[in-house]
Chains A and B, each alone.
Chain A
Amino acid sequence: MELLSGGEIVVRALKDAGVKYLWGYPGGAALHIYDALFQQSDVQHILVRHEQAATHAADGHARSTGEVGAVLVTSGPGATNAITGIATAYMDSIPMVVISGQVPREKIGDDAFQETDMVGISRPIVKHSFLVKDATEIAATIAKAFFIAGSGRPGPVVVDIPKDVTAPNHRVPYEYPEKIKIRSYQPTVKGHAGQIKRAVKTLLGAKRPVIYSGGGVVLGDASSQLIELAKSLNAPVTNTLMGLGAYPGTDDQFIGMLGMHGTFEANTAMHHADVILAVGARFDDRVTNTTDKFCPSAKIIHVDIDPTSISKTIAADIPIVGPCDRVLQELIDQLDSSDDSQDETAIAEWWVQINEWRDRHGIYTKPRHDASEGNIIKPQDVIRSLFNVTGGDAFVTSDVGQHQMFAAQYYLFNKPRRWINSGGLGTMGFGLPAAMGVQLANPGADVACVTGEGSIQMCIQELSTCTQYGLPVKIINLNNQALGMVRQWQDMQYSSRYSSSIYEDSLPDFVKLAESYGHVGIKVTHFDELEEKMAECFSLKDRVVFMDICVDRSEHVYPMHVAPNGSMRDMWLSKTERT
């Protein structure tokens, strides 16, 4: 057996785990590993400018490919800088392995230089974590970490490795386990047959069914099964923010996103539904509004791989634990062979009702906001233009705020893994580094980062990483010169007292800033030039382009749930109109 040092074992095990790109930042406790990285070329290390960006980039890689993202940071500040990105991945169930250097074993507990209890600090925001105590354990631990991160309900796993364990002078036999078995960890692989039978009966008996599908369908690669099931039931489909793209956004059965900023038709249909099939969704508070008033007449079938997601906030009538692809396939098979049949008249009437809702207040049947004109550019129109120019086929990452909601509403995603955003944690600063991860994993693809002048400044240093590694992402900055989403809440709930949501002329010239990193900057101030400049942006295939687009600061995101105490169907439709 080959003898390797701990540092070499880390790198070799990453390679054997299938890692091509490792996002990271060096420091004392990780230097043995960095030296091992230098002496090989199988695993490419990408030097970011802040460890938070390393985690978001690996996260973007994971979301766009389904592979496990990989990160390497040093101890202390390197590890703590990674925390926001780990929490972001945890909230959205993204598979990721974060390797952190640690002070040498004999110094642990002494408050040594750059010591922090990484296993302790990360505990509530990881799927699992390991502290490696010996060089002989590194390979097996890394293998387990990748297995845990990527299987079942995915999530981030931390592997903390003391510096002396990776020392170059101590060599031990290297063996990467072929099969991984963990006796205390056996994710469910199949749904309960009896429950599936009941679900089929309930679905066929429904007069007003809605399929409510979430991020689990994307993560579980169950999009094709979802489409097949929805088609065979002729049921309307709504996606959560995390689920967008799992059902094609331009298909007629798609009624839009649901929840706080969901469409009128999706939220209203949910409220009136008699059967809701929830797949890979978790009845998040940004979806349900007041739980007591949630969908009063609906029987709920809830499919999820994680039993703790079921009946957590909303009780399920028919819980089914299992992977979304398998369970949906079993539902399809049993539907085909069932003796029961649907009440087609009722379903046809349901569609008449839904189409009437679409006509009444839907954002896809006609524009519900004022038109853009002259130097007033509506943010919604920027997203429409982005959709047109990219043929609806780009990878779109986003930050957090109004721009994120406009992107979710107006970019109609037709494929899963194209919409990459921080839904659970809502992390400003996610968009640009995530776009880098997506771009590196999908060379040649159009990758747009829809952002705001607030969010982009939280990780703007990564423009330098884009230069170093030639990552030609396109930044679509919806510049409303304000923390727009905060401002919207202040308009609605605090009589427009803009407490710390404006910058008082302190914003940089983003065009010059982009240019100083060697990129192209394009400013757009008139609606007439929007489409043309957007096209120019995407024609510059090999360049990073920073589109600084001045959008109307006074625009709000609608619909918006009435809260507190509202139900699914209680929405503001504009500044003055509510349901």
Chain B
Amino acid sequence: MRRIISVLLENEPGSLSRVVGLFSQRGYNIDTLTVAPTEDQTLSRLTLTTHGNDQVIEQITKNLNKLIDVVKVVDLTEGPHIERELMLLKVKANDSQRAEIKRCVDIFRGQIVDVNMHAYTVQIVGNSDKLDAFIQAIGDADILELVRTGVSGLARGEKSLRL
């Protein structure tokens, strides 16, 4: 099963490599990974998506908690949550294709953030499925470049991951 795991991490040199190292050392999967400092500059928030059976996921969260630099860990998929991912993609957009792509971007509530004679740069935000669906939808278009941020997310309601 796919899981979204959120980690509150000391913003120290080397702490990210310990998290990543743990995954390669123990043969766990990382599908996406995002990390940035939080409103508290001493802490970073790291979100990763992974997959595995319940036993593997349990070991992943326990091993993350065991890292000295890790302050808190939560598996967001255990409860209601919001997940978002941002995708930028550059597609070939010549005369006939331009309108079609624009329509598609509108349907997905995306934005065209850069334009030139031959290409559009499109931004789409949503959960990962929506991003996948957009790529499917413009199937015929020629994708020149694509970048995704990886998933980040928060639990719904008042529940929060903090000190």
Residue B27 is within 8 A (CB to CB) of chain A in the complex: no
CB atoms of A184 and B71 under 8 A apart: yes
| Also in contact, A123 and B21, with CB within 8 A (given A184-B71, A307-B66) | yes
Interface size class on chain B is 10 to 19
CB atoms of B68 and A182 under 8 A apart: yes
CB atoms of A119 and B14 under 8 A apart: yes
| Also in contact, A308 and B68, with CB within 8 A (given A123-B17, A184-B10) | no
CB distance from A7 to the nearest CB of B (A): 23
Residue A185 is within 8 A (CB to CB) of chain B in the complex: yes
The closest CB in chain A to the CB of B58 belongs to A311
Chain B residues, CB < 8 A from A183: 71, 163
CB atoms of B59 and A128 under 8 A apart: no
The closest CB in chain A to the CB of B70 belongs to A184
Chain B residues, CB < 8 A from A308: 59, 62-63, 66
Q: Which 3 A-B residue pairs are closest in the complex by CB-CB distance? A: A184-B71, A128-B68, A308-B62
CB atoms of A311 and B55 under 8 A apart: yes
CB distance from B37 to the nearest CB of A (A): 16
Residues 175 to 194 of chain A near chain B (Cβ within 8 Å): 182-185
Supply 12 A–B pairs (Cβ within 8 Å), ascending by A.
A119-B14, A120-B17, A123-B18, A124-B21, A127-B68, A128-B68, A128-B69, A184-B68, A307-B62, A308-B63, A311-B55, A311-B59
The closest CB in chain A to the CB of B68 belongs to A128
CB atoms of A131 and B71 under 8 A apart: no
Residues 287 to 337 of chain A near chain B (Cβ within 8 Å): 306-308, 311-312, 315
**Knowing that A119-B14, A307-B65 are A-B contacts, what are 15 other residue pairs whose CB atoms are under 8 Å apart, sorted by A's residue number?**
A123-B14, A124-B21, A127-B68, A131-B13, A131-B14, A184-B70, A184-B71, A185-B68, A306-B66, A307-B66, A308-B59, A308-B62, A308-B63, A311-B55, A311-B59
Chain A residues, CB < 8 A from B69: 128, 184
Chain B residues, CB < 8 A from A148: 68
CB atoms of A129 and B14 under 8 A apart: yes
Chain B residues, CB < 8 A from A127: 68
CB distance from B27 to the nearest CB of A (A): 12
Residue B25 is within 8 A (CB to CB) of chain A in the complex: yes
- Report the separation of the CA atoms of residues A311 and B104 in the bound assembly, to the nearest whole angstrom: 48
- Report the separation of the CA atoms of residues A182 and B68 in the bound assembly, to the nearest whole angstrom: 9
CB distance from A504 to the nearest CB of B (A): 39
Chain A residues, CB < 8 A from B71: 183-184
CB atoms of A124 and B17 under 8 A apart: no
Interface string of A111-145 (1 = CB under 8 A from B): 00000000110011001110100000000000000
Chain A residues, CB < 8 A from B65: 307
- Report the separation of the CA atoms of residues A311 and B13 in the bound assembly, to the nearest whole angstrom: 32
Residues 26 to 73 of chain B near chain A (Cβ within 8 Å): 55, 58-59, 62-63, 65-66, 68-71
Chain B residues, CB < 8 A from A311: 55, 58-59
The closest CB in chain A to the CB of B42 belongs to A183
Interface string of A184-228 (1 = CB under 8 A from B): 110000000000000000000000000000000000000000000
- Report the separation of the CA atoms of residues A185 and B71 in the bound assembly, to the nearest whole angstrom: 7
CB distance from A192 to the nearest CB of B (A): 15
- Report the separation of the CA atoms of residues A185 and B68 in the bound assembly, to the nearest whole angstrom: 6
Chain A residues, CB < 8 A from B62: 307-308
CB distance from B24 to the nearest CB of A (A): 9
- Report the separation of the CA atoms of residues A128 and B163 in the bound assembly, to the nearest whole angstrom: 21
- Most B-side CB within 10 Å, residue of A124, A148, A183, A184: A184
- Report the separation of the CA atoms of residues A315 and B18 in the bound assembly, to the nearest whole angstrom: 27
Chain A residues, CB < 8 A from B68: 127-128, 148, 182, 184-185
Chain B residues, CB < 8 A from A306: 66
Chain B residues, CB < 8 A from A312: 59
- Most B-side CB within 10 Å, residue of A119, A185, A311: A185
Chain B residues, CB < 8 A from A184: 10, 68-71
The closest CB in chain B to the CB of A152 belongs to B66
The closest CB in chain B to the CB of A129 belongs to B14
Chain A residues, CB < 8 A from B10: 184
Chain A residues, CB < 8 A from B163: 183
- Report the separation of the CA atoms of residues A315 and B53 in the bound assembly, to the nearest whole angstrom: 14
The closest CB in chain B to the CB of A119 belongs to B14
CB distance from B8 to the nearest CB of A (A): 8
Chain A residues, CB < 8 A from B21: 123-124
Residues 264 to 308 of chain A near chain B (Cβ within 8 Å): 306-308
- Most A-side CB within 10 Å, residue of B18, B21, B55, B163: B18
The closest CB in chain B to the CB of A127 belongs to B68
CB distance from B18 to the nearest CB of A (A): 7
The closest CB in chain B to the CB of A153 belongs to B66
Chain B residues, CB < 8 A from A182: 68
The closest CB in chain B to the CB of A125 belongs to B25
CB distance from A136 to the nearest CB of B (A): 16
Residues 323 to 355 of chain A near chain B (Cβ within 8 Å): none
- Report the separation of the CA atoms of residues A253 and B10 in the bound assembly, to the nearest whole angstrom: 48
- Report the separation of the CA atoms of residues A124 and B26 in the bound assembly, to the nearest whole angstrom: 10
- Report the separation of the CA atoms of residues A127 and B63 in the bound assembly, to the nearest whole angstrom: 12
The closest CB in chain A to the CB of B71 belongs to A184
CB distance from A51 to the nearest CB of B (A): 23
CB distance from A37 to the nearest CB of B (A): 28
Chain A residues, CB < 8 A from B13: 131
- Report the separation of the CA atoms of residues A129 and B15 in the bound assembly, to the nearest whole angstrom: 10
The closest CB in chain A to the CB of B66 belongs to A308
- Most A-side CB within 10 Å, residue of B21, B59, B68, B71: B68
The closest CB in chain A to the CB of B24 belongs to A124
CB distance from A455 to the nearest CB of B (A): 28
CB atoms of B25 and A124 under 8 A apart: yes
The closest CB in chain A to the CB of B69 belongs to A184
- Most B-side CB within 10 Å, residue of A129, A148, A182, A307: A307
The closest CB in chain A to the CB of B25 belongs to A124
- Report the separation of the CA atoms of residues A535 and B71 in the bound assembly, to the nearest whole angstrom: 56
CB distance from A58 to the nearest CB of B (A): 21
- Report the separation of the CA atoms of residues A148 and B17 in the bound assembly, to the nearest whole angstrom: 19
Residues 389 to 438 of chain A near chain B (Cβ within 8 Å): none
- Most A-side CB within 10 Å, residue of B10, B62, B65: B62
CB distance from B74 to the nearest CB of A (A): 15
